[in-house]
Structure 1
C-alpha cells in the first residue's frame, strides 16, 4: 500500500523518475519517464536508454555509497534533449539489493538560450569588428601615405561613411530588438490603418525601387479600415519585408503587395488581415526558410552585406508579430521568387 502511494506521487511529477537495481535493471519508471522512453521500459537495462560513460560512472559511485551525484547528458539526435540527472540512493529493495533513483530535469531550453546568447555576443562582436577594422585602416591611410592625396581622401571618406552607416544600422536594430523583448507580452492597443501605412512605406522606398529598377504593384482587397496595433512597429515590419523584396528581386521585375481579409488562420483568433509581399528573385532553399528569422542568419552573407543588411531584420519582424499575436508565413521556390505573408489579427475595436 505504501509503495502504491509512493508510485502515485512519483507519477504526478513532471520530472522523469527512474529507479534501478544493482544490475542497472529498471525497476520503476513514472508516467513522464514512460512517455519519454516507452511504456515497456520497466524491466529493461538502463543502458538501453542511456549509454554515456559519465552517467554510468556516477550511478556506480552512488551504488558504492559515495553519495549523491549530478550529471548532464544529451539524448537523441534531431531534435536532441539535454537533461540534468540527480542520482540518489533510495535504500534497498525486497532482495536487500541497493537501489538508485535517477531524476531527469529537462534543461534543453536553458542550454539553447545559453548557446543563443553566446552566439549572439560572438555575432555582434564580429559584425562590429569588421567595420571598425575598416575604419581604423582608412584613418591610418589618410593620416599617412594618402595624407595629401585628394583623390584617395575623397574615396576613403566615402568608404568610411558607408562603414559608419553599417554600424549605425546594426546598433539601431540591436536597440529595436532589446525594446521589443521588453514589451513583447504587452499587446498594443492603438488603431492603425494598414492601407495608408503601406502606402507611406512604398513612398519612402520609391527611391530604392527606382535605383534597383523594380516596379511596385499594390492591391488592397480588404474591407477592414483599421486594426489594433502599434503604428511604428508595423511600419518596421512592412518596411523590412518590402525593402527585402526590392533588394533581392531580379532587375526589371515587379514587387507585388496585396492586402486581403481572412475569416480564419490556424493558430490565430478571429478574423485576420493578410498582407503578402512577393518578389521575382532567386528564391530561397527549403532548408533555409525555417532559419530566416534567426538573428544574424543570412542565406547569402556576402550579398546581404553588400545590400546593407544587418541579419536582424526578420528577427525584429518575428518579435513584432509575436507582440501583435500575428504570424509570418514564407513561401519560396529557388529560381522563382518568394512570398512573405504577414497575418495580423484584427482585434476588437
Structure 2
C-alpha cells in the first residue's frame, strides 16, 4: 500500500491504527498510534516498532493465517496504566497481504471491573470477621458456656457489638449507594450551613465530652446559604466531627471554623468554607490521595476498634461532589489534621 493512501485512510480514525504491509514493514501510523509508539516507526519492521510479545504474536498469526486476531496490550505511562483491546485484521484488495492493527482503549472498563472486584472483596472481608465471631460465640453458648452466666453475659455483649458493627457497615453502604446515584443531580434548595453546623455540634457535644475533647465552633453566628441537601450536608458534618473526635481526640481540642469568601478560588465566586481542625497525632500525607477510597484506612486495627467502617470519607467526597464543592485534607504527623469542605454560596 502506498504511504499517502494509507495515511488518508487512517488519519481521521480517532483510535490508534497501524498499517503493516505484506513486506512486514509499517506503512503508516495515525497520530494516535504515533503517541503510543513514537513518530519514527514508518518504514521499519513491525517487530522493532511494536516490540510487545502479545502484539507481535497477534500480527504474526494474522499475516500467516490471513484471519483476524485479537490481543490485550498493557501500557504504563507517567504513572497511569492503560489497557487496549487490539485487533489485527488482514487487508484485501490493493493492500492484500498486509494487516491493519487497531487499538481500542478499554482502561475505564478495566478499572471499573477492578473497582467492583475490590469492592466485593472488601465487603466480604468486612462482614466475614464479625460473622465468624458471632458464629463462634453462638457455638460456645450452645456448648461449654451454656450454664455459665458470667461468660454468657460477656459473649452476648461482644455479639451485640459485632452485630452493631455489621449494621453500621450496611447502613453506610446503602448511604454511599444513594449518594452515588444522585451525584449528577445538583440540589436546588437553599440551606443554611451555619445552622446545620450549630445543630451538628450540639448533637455530638456529649460524644466529645465522653472523649475528653473540647469542641468549639467559630464563624457560624450568621447565616451562610448554599444550594444543598440538608440531610446530606448534615451527614458530612457528622462524619467529619466524629472522625475528629475519634482519631484526633488525643489532642484534646477540635475546632470547627466557618469562613465566607466573596471570591473563593475553587469556584471563582462567593463561597463558604468549613474547616474541621484537630490537634491529634496526624498522619503521613502519603495517605491523603487514598483516604476517600472505600475501605481505605490509615490504621486498620484502630479504625475497626473505634467502630469505623472505612466508608465515611468516601461518602463525604461524593456528597461534596454532588454540591459542586471541593474537599481537601491536610495533615502533619504529630501536629494534627484539617478536613476542609468548600461550597459555592447560593
| C-alpha contact (below 8 Å) 1:221/1:261 kept by paired residues | no
Change beyond 3 A, Cα 1:41–1:329? farther
Q: Which residue of 2 aligns with 1:7?
A: 7
Contact 1:215 1:252 in 2 (8 A): no
Please report the RMSD computed on the Cα atoms of aligned residues, expressed in angstroms. 2.3
**Counterpart of 2:285 in 1: which secondary structure?**
coil
**After alignment, is 298-307 or 84-93 more displaced?**
84-93
Q: String of CA shifts for 1:282-326, please: whole Å, max 9, x gaps.
A: 222222110001111111100000111001111111111121111
Aligned equivalents of 2:170 and 2:196: distance in 1?
Answer: 25
| 1:253 and 2:223 correspond | no
Q: Which residue of 1 aligns with 2:204?
A: 205
Describe the SS at the equivalent of 1:160.
helix
1:185 paired residue number: 184
Does the 8 Å contact 1:81/1:106 carry over to 2?
Answer: yes
Q: Following TM superposition, by how much is the alpha carbon of 1:54 offset from its aligned partner in structure 2, in angstroms?
A: 2.2
- What is the aligned residue count? 344
User: Does the C-alpha gap of structure 1 residues 316 and 87 become closer, same or farther in structure 2, counting only changes over 3 Å?
Assistant: same
1:287 corresponds to = 286
Judging changes above 3 Å, is the alpha-carbon distance between structure 1 residues 132 and 286 closer, same or farther for their aligned structure 2 residues?
same
Contiguous gaps of at least 5 residues in structure 1: none
What residue is the counterpart of 1:59 in the other structure?
59
Q: Which runs of 5+ in 2 are unaligned?
A: none
The residue number in structure 2 matching 1:329 is 328
Structure 1 residue aligned with 2:231 = 232
SS of 1:13's equivalent? coil
Change (3 A) 1:223 1:139: same
Q: What secondary structure, in the 3-state scheme, does the structure 2 residue paired with 1:251 have?
A: helix
Tell me which moved more, 43-52 or 157-166: 43-52
| Cα distance, 1:64 vs structure 2 | 1.1
Q: Return the alpha-carbon distance in structure 2 between the equivalents of residues 210 and 25 of structure 1.
A: 75
* Distance of 1:46 and 1:285 partners within structure 2: 47
SS at match of 2:101: strand
Residues 221 and 235 (structure 1 numbering): CA distance in 2 closer, same or farther, change over 3 Å?
A: closer
Aligned to 1:153: 152
SS of aligned partner of 1:273:
strand
Equivalent in the alignment of 1:84: 85
2:149 paired with 1:143? no
State the match for 2:125 in structure 1.
Answer: 126
Provide the rounded CA distance (Å) in 2 between the counterparts of 1:49 and 1:335. 52
- Which residue matches 2:303? 304
1: CA distance, partners of 2:220 / 2:6: 62
Partner-residue secondary structure (3-state), 1:61: helix
Report the equivalent of 2:167.
168
Indicate conservation of the 8 Å contact 1:88/1:101, yes or no: yes
* Equivalent position SS for 2:58: helix
Q: Which residue pairs with 2:42 in the alignment?
A: 42
Q: Distance in 2 between matches of 1:24 and 1:265?
A: 58
* 1:20 corresponding residue in structure 2: 20
Is the CA contact 1:11–1:32 (under 8 Å) kept in the aligned structure 2?
no
Maintained 8 Å contact 2:197/2:220: no
CA gap of 1:151–1:198, structure 2 versus 1, over 3 A, is same
**TM-score with structure 2 setting the length:** 0.92
